[in-house]
């Protein structure tokens, strides 16, 4: 019965993925090979009707997170054959481990985790494995355990590398020879923070840019504003680039710079770089407040539900699935960037000039 339902689910998810218009890419270098099937766990779950899925979400810190939650909740709807149990872990790693343990206790059919931080997972994933409950990871990565079936998310290091590659070309275009940079990082220990920091730092080191300071704003607007207020006091007149690791931090940084009388963006003294490219972020790119915004794609729900449906049907799934993520810019002078990506390949990727149509199509 459950297998029959899962086959039907696979069809439903295939249709919704086709309709979604964004397909994940699975680069050969990423080790995306098949990761096995759910086997008996999928066949022996509770109930005959709906597949029960526990989702331990990071929290509600950003516009990106809101879009992520909506994407997962819509994909794992009752109409699609799922009973989703959603836990907002409020950016608290201990609460997230407890949520996963509760899902194991409840004997859900599948567990989906968006890990707040990338380490500290092996014990609880072993417990899930022992209980025969397959775990799917989305968005951020787990770096200290491979006891999960599949992951779908972003190549955060490439996001940082792309931001650095764009800054290099943009500075050359504008004749800016010296870059003095302030970074507002995301949640410390999250793979999004680690990847973006490392990727951008690689370009900074290669090009001799000075990173004056780099502190966490915890991926929130309030955090971004606080860090930027303190930067404005400590480094007034010393910086010409601010890198915020998500849009909400950028909004906070904008407020802090405006209050301090510092101009930023296309016509300003400070180049402002952001990540996520949510609707409000791209609105600021269109307005020239943010110079460049590197997308992190939150619409992972349909891909994750497709993975669960395939596992429930006994099919094999990829170990890794990467979301497609464009890079957005305020000015049309540069149309592409070339850089060596995290897999060691030289790639040339387009820069999307933001227009109202681009904003209207954003998440």
Q: What is the signed CA dihedral for 56, 114, 301, 321, rounded to 10 degrees?
A: -150
In whole angstroms, give the CA distance from residue 125 to residue 213: 36
Task: Rank residues 37 and 220 by Cβ distance to ligand AHR and give the closer one.
Answer: 220
Q: Which helix (H) or strand (E) holds 310?
A: helix 301-312
- Residues 175-194 close enough to bind ligand AHR by CB under 6 A: 192
CA-closest candidate to residue 60, choices 103, 24, 95: 95
- Smallest separation (angstroms) from ligand AHR to the CB of 219: 4
- Smallest separation (angstroms) from ligand AHR to the CB of 275: 5
| Placement of tokens 């951020």 in the chain | 140
Task: Rank residues 37 and 157 by Cβ distance to ligand AHR and give the closer one.
Answer: 157
Q: Is 155 in the site for ligand AHR (CB under 6 A)?
A: no
52 strand-pairing partners = 83
Stretch that binds ligand AHR, among 33-41, 47-55, 60-68, 341-349 (CB under 6 A): 60-68
The CA-atom distances, in angstroms, between 59 and each of 149, 180, 320, 345, 350 are 23, 33, 23, 34, 32
- Residues 203-242 close enough to bind ligand AHR by CB under 6 A: 219
- Smallest separation (angstroms) from ligand AHR to the CB of 139: 5
- Residues 294-313 close enough to bind ligand AHR by CB under 6 A: 296
CB burial string 304-323: b at 16+ within 10 A, e below:
bbbbbbbbbbebebbbbbbb
Q: Which of 37, 42, 61, 354 binds ligand AHR (CB under 6 A)?
A: 61
Helix, strand, coil % (nearest 5) of the chain?
A: 40, 20, 35
Q: Which two tokens stand for residue 336?
A: 């592409």
Q: Is 65 in the site for ligand AHR (CB under 6 A)?
A: yes
Q: Is 118 in the site for ligand AHR (CB under 6 A)?
A: no
Task: Rank residues 139 and 185 by Cβ distance to ligand AHR and give the closer one.
Answer: 139
CA-closest candidate to residue 110, choices 14, 39, 60, 32: 39
Q: Which of 185, 276, 293, 320 binds ligand AHR (CB under 6 A)?
A: 276
Three-class SS of residue 247? helix
Q: Is 197 in the site for ligand AHR (CB under 6 A)?
A: no
Task: Rank residues 262 and 285 by Cβ distance to ligand AHR and give the closer one.
Answer: 285
Stretch that binds ligand AHR, among 35-43, 58-66, 257-265, 316-324 (CB under 6 A): 58-66
Q: Which residues contribute to the site for ligand AHR (CB under 6 A)?
A: 61-62, 64-65, 139-140, 192, 219, 246, 275-276, 296
């Amino acid at each position: 019965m459950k297998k029959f339902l899962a086959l039907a689910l696979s069809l439903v998810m295939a249709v919704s993925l086709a309709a979604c218009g964004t397909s994940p890419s699975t680069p050969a270098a990423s080790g995306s090979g098949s990761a096995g099937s759910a086997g008996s766990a999928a066949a022996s779950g509770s109930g005959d009707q709906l597949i029960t899925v526990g989702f331990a979400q990071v929290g509600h810190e950003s516009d990106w997170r809101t879009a992520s939650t909506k994407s997962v909740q819509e994909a794992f709807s009752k109409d699609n054959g799922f009973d989703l149990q959603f836990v907002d872990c409020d950016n608290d790693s201990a609460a997230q481990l407890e949520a996963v343990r509760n899902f194991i206790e409840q004997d859900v059919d599948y567990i989906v985790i968006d890990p707040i931080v990338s380490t500290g997972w092996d014990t609880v994933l072993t417990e899930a494995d022992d209980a025969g409950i397959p775990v799917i990871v989305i968005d951020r990565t787990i770096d200290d355990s491979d006891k999960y079936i599949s992951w779908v998310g972003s190549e955060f290091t490439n996001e940082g590398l792309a931001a650095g590659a764009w800054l290099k070309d943009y500075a050359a275009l504008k004749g800016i020879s010296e870059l003095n940079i302030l970074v507002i990082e995301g949640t410390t220990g999250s793979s999004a923070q680690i990847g973006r920091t490392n990727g951008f730092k690689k370009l900074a080191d290669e090009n001799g840019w000075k990173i004056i300071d780099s502190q966490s704003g915890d991926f929130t607007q309030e955090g971004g504003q606080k860090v930027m207020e303190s930067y404005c006091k400590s480094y007034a007149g010393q910086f010409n680039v601010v890198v915020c690791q998500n849009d909400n931090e950028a909004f906070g940084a904008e407020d802090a710079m405006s209050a301090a009388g510092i101009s930023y963006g296309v016509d300003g003294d400070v180049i402002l770089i952001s990540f996520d490219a949510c609707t409000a972020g791209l609105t600021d790119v269109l307005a020239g407040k943010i110079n460049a915004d590197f997308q992190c794609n939150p619409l992972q729900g349909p891909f994750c539900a497709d993975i669960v449906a395939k596992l429930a049907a006994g099919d094999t799934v990829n170990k890794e699935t990467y979301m497609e993520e464009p890079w957005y810019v305020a000015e049309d002078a540069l149309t592409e960037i070339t850089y060596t990506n995290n897999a060691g390949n030289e790639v040339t990727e387009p820069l999307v000039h933001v227009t109202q149509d681009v904003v209207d199509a954003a998440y």
